[in-house]
Amino acid sequence: MSDDNRRDGILLYLNGDAETQAWFEKQWRIWPKRADEQRTTNMSFHYGGVLSYRAMRGRDPMMSRDFASNVAWIDQQGNKP
């Protein structure tokens, strides 16, 4: 897991505008499909966004089954900042 990608996801979700946050949230719901073909679906990057979502809202976002299983696996590995 790339620490740089995770950090970028944390910062972009945390500091992003409503449109940016909505893009993340849509991507998490439809993973592994792409919300936008021009944007990344890098797991480390999106996991960082999930960490920011959790910190801001105190809960997990809505996620596709595939995405949720990846997030759960990373959580179990202790890859939290």
More confident call, 77 vs 50? 50
Confidence (pLDDT) at 79: 59
Name the phi and psi angles at 53, rounded to 5: -60, -45
Whether residue 26 contacts residue 34, with contact meaning beta carbons closer than 8 Å, is answered with no
Does residue 1 have a pLDDT over 70? no
Integer Cα distance of 17 and 12 in angstroms: 9
Whether residue 56 contacts residue 14, with contact meaning beta carbons closer than 8 Å, is answered with yes
Q: What is the pLDDT of residues 24-61, one digit of tens each?
A: 999 999 999 888 887 777 999 999 999 999 999 999 99
Mean per-residue pLDDT, 67-72:
97
CA dihedral 43, 7, 3, 60 (to 10 degrees): -50
Instruction: Return mean pLDDT, the chain.
Output: 92
